[in-house]
Amino acid sequence: MTIRWLHGRSPNEPVARCGLGATIVILAAMPGLFYAARASAEGIHPPRADPATVRASYVGSEACSRCHAEIYSHYSHTSMGRSLTPVTSEFLKTVPVSASVYDQKLDRHFDVYSENEKLYQSEFQVDAVGHEVFRDTHEIKWIVGTGANGRGALIQHDDYLFEAPLSFYRETGTWALSPGYERGDLGFNRTIAPGCIFCHSGRPQPVPETIGKYEKPAFTQLSVGCENCHGPGSAHVEAMGMGDSYPRSKDPTIVNPGAIAPTMANDICMSCHQTGDIRIFQPGKTYLDFRPGQPLDRVMAILMVPPTRENPPREDHVEHYYSMILSKCYRASARMPSEKQMRCISCHDPHVEPTSAEAPAYFNGKCMSCHSAQSCKAPAQARAQTASATAPADNCIGCHMPKRAGGAISHTSLTNHRIVARPDEAFPDAAFQMTTAALPDLIYLDAAPGDAEPPAITLLQAYSQLKDVSPVYEASFLKILHELEATKPQNAIVQAALGHQALAGGQLDDAAEHLQASLKLDPAQAAVYMDLSSVADQKGQADEAVTMVQKAVALEPFNAPMLKTLVLRLINAKQYPEAESAMEKYLQNFPEDDFMRKMLAIARQ
């Protein structure tokens, strides 16, 4: 099960799978083995003055390049180092800039073209005699990804960022529908929420308490850079400029992922490479609060629905950490001193990205740091039979981390990070023993040492979202809601949940009381205004129902369901000229909506 967030409108912005790519647990029959693995930082400690807590600001990767020119040069050619780029004349030389796509299911045409060294995409529809019903054209401002699997496209409209309907796929060498667009016509209105762009850029600037709106400029750093892994660098730059010197890996002004506890180093990678089934911010936190060298769970809880033997883990797209900890390699290393424990950077050097041809030999070297040629039990003849220009003999990752077609995203391939001995290797028993007594129905993937479960407010939001797709979580939601009602009644999230629950049960007066109390505590909650609109509508208070939707739309002006509800509320209130105006404005942003176009035609008659 996956909570998908690109369309999410929760005030907490649920997070999971994203576009083009783009527990911790009790693992083994021995109780607490894997939880202890995360908790065991013996032998490796943070630097003397934890750089994660040093007051510092971000300076950008070019500031780092002055002293680390070779590392910077190598990193600039990696996928992370080119994760987000502006559309320039140079970029236009790297992909076809003329393409036409027709999707029969959607009955929509899409064009890609360049003009005056700018890139554009259009969506349009034609009627039975070939006349255009509508055409929507936007300039592509940024490209997400480097083409390892594909490249997505971003547009900007009224300070909001949106995904474009076509992406470029390396496997086919063509433009085709972006991931998710095959399920419905989303036009140019798929909002880029902070959780989407956080992992594809260096320093985005989302406007607080909005979804998809960004400051000017939208990014202070485009691609993922040095400080995404090493933390803000101003203190380090200042210290080095004053001639300070420290022993290797002991510099207190910057985070060295190789010199901190394995759990902390993995947390840096997990912030983008581990989604779980749902991510929930800790109270008052956002993506921009995460600092390398600090526990990730101070900012967000990554939670997972426990697998069963009848329903084992099936999808590992952006589940790299979870897959790794199920491997025999990781489980064996968990018993070792922390400096020898396997972690993401045991195999991956973020500064270097080998080519496809270089990868087998490069990763063979990583494997041989723990194994030997005698470790492989496959017959020599079988190991040689797979040899080719790109997959040489004795190719460790070719056998033990095989690639396969990506199921969630068309035209992509994924690498199995479970490091299996055989392709049909069963999941270890530990995979089904990952919950704890404190949290028996969810796996807390990024639990820091000593954290048995996330804060109650965090769990409330998780259960609230999970129960909508898995009713088994309804009881957990109600239990924790009632506990919080008694202990934290003056909390906006608690009051909003109580109001929503009362609304669902038809208790309109109670619902209104809780919802209004929530807005007094936090007025920037579009979903709460929508619930109040439903209360007013069911009470026959048509004008009040309109007012509440208008307040929600003011917070999320590109939320199509809210805008549709506004039209309905205006019609119910017999505000017909306003309803017609709302339909016209809706179609300016969503011209692909056939139903609203027909409604407007009827209204004009």
Per the structure block, which two tokens stand in for 387?
Answer: 């040899």
Same domain, 424 and 316: yes
> Residue range 101-128: average pLDDT?
96
The answer to whether residues 496 and 562 belong to one domain is yes
More confident of the two residues 150 and 42: 150
What confidence tens digit (pLDDT) does each residue in 192-222 have?
A: 999 889 999 999 999 998 999 999 999 999 9
Residue 77 resides in a domain: no
Q: Report whether pLDDT(40) > 70.
A: no
Q: What is the mean pLDDT of residues 536-554?
A: 98
Residues 441 and 336 in one domain: yes
pLDDT at 329 (0 to 100): 92
What is the extent of the structural domain holding 269? 1-45+260-348+395-453
Determine the Cα–Cα distance for residues 191 and 381; give it in Å rounded to an integer.
Answer: 53
Is 228 within the bounds of a domain? Answer: no
Could you give the angle at the alpha carbon of 122 between the alpha carbons of 117 and 124, nearest 5°?
160
Q: What percent of the chain has pLDDT over 90?
A: 70
Cα–Cα distance for residue pair 24/448, rounded to 1 Å: 8
Confidence tier at 268 by pLDDT (50, 70, 90)? very high
Q: Is residue 370 part of a domain?
A: no
Q: Looking at residue 68, what is its pLDDT? A: 95
240 found inside a domain: no
Please say whether the dihedral angle defined by the alpha carbons of residues 338, 340, 346 and 347, taken in this order, is positive or negative.
negative
Domain final position from 453, 469, 496: 453
pLDDT for 54 beyond 60: no
Residues 465 and 441 in one domain: no
* b/e 185-222 (16+ beta carbons within 10 angstroms → b): bbbbbbbbbbbbbbbbbbbbbbeeebbbbbeeebbebb
Co-location of 287 and 198 in the same domain: no
Q: Is residue 361 part of a domain?
A: no
Which class for 522: exposed (0-12), middle (13-18), buried (19 or more C-beta within 10 A)?
middle
Share of the chain above pLDDT 70, in %: 87
- Whether 234 maps to a domain, the answer reads no
Asked if residue 272 and residue 412 are part of one domain, the reply reads yes
Q: Has residue 25 been placed in a domain?
A: yes
- Answer with the residue of higher pLDDT: 266 or 49: 266
Average pLDDT across the chain, whole number: 87
**Does residue 559 carry a pLDDT above 60?**
yes
Q: Are residues 529 and 474 in the same domain?
A: yes
- Asked which of 171-175, 461-465, 585-589 is least confident by mean pLDDT, the reply is 171-175
- Do 527 and 504 have their domain in common? yes
Q: Can you give the pLDDT at residue 377?
A: 79
Mean pLDDT of 37-52: 39
Res 33 pLDDT > 50: no
Q: 432, 453, 474: which is the final residue of a domain?
A: 453
Query: Could you say which DSSP state residue 184 is in?
Result: S
- Residue 190 CA to residue 208 CA, distance in Å, equals 19
CA dihedral 493→191→78→2, nearest 10 degrees, is 60
- 459 and 449 Cβ atoms separated by less than 8 Å: no
Assess whether 163 and 180 both reside in one domain.
yes
- Residue 71 domain flag: no
Count: domains in the chain: 3
pLDDT tens sequence across 155-164? 999 999 999 9
Residue 25 has pLDDT above 50, yes or no: no
Residue by residue, DSSP assigns 13-79 as --B---SS-------SSSTTHHHHHHH--TT----SS-TTTS------HHHHHTT-HHHHHHHTTST
Q: What confidence category does residue 41 fall into, taking pLDDT thresholds of 50, 70 and 90?
A: very low
**pLDDT at residue 148 greater than cutoff 80:** no
Question: How much is the pTM?
Answer: 0.85
Q: Is the pLDDT of residue 36 over 50?
A: no
Is the same domain home to 496 and 589? yes
For 413-419, the CB contacts below 8 A with 24+ separation are 413/149, 413/171, 414/316, 414/317, 416/316, 416/323, 417/316, 417/319, 417/320, 417/323, 417/324, 417/327, 418/316, 418/323, 418/324, 418/326, 418/327, 419/324, 419/327, 419/328, 419/329, 419/330
pLDDT band at 436 (very low <50, low <70, confident <90, very high): very high
Are 438 and 490 within one domain? no
Give the CATH number of the domain where residue 548 resides: 1.25.40.10
On whether both 467 and 335 belong to a single domain, the answer is no
3-state SS class at 396: helix
H helix intervals, 393-473: 396-400, 456-466
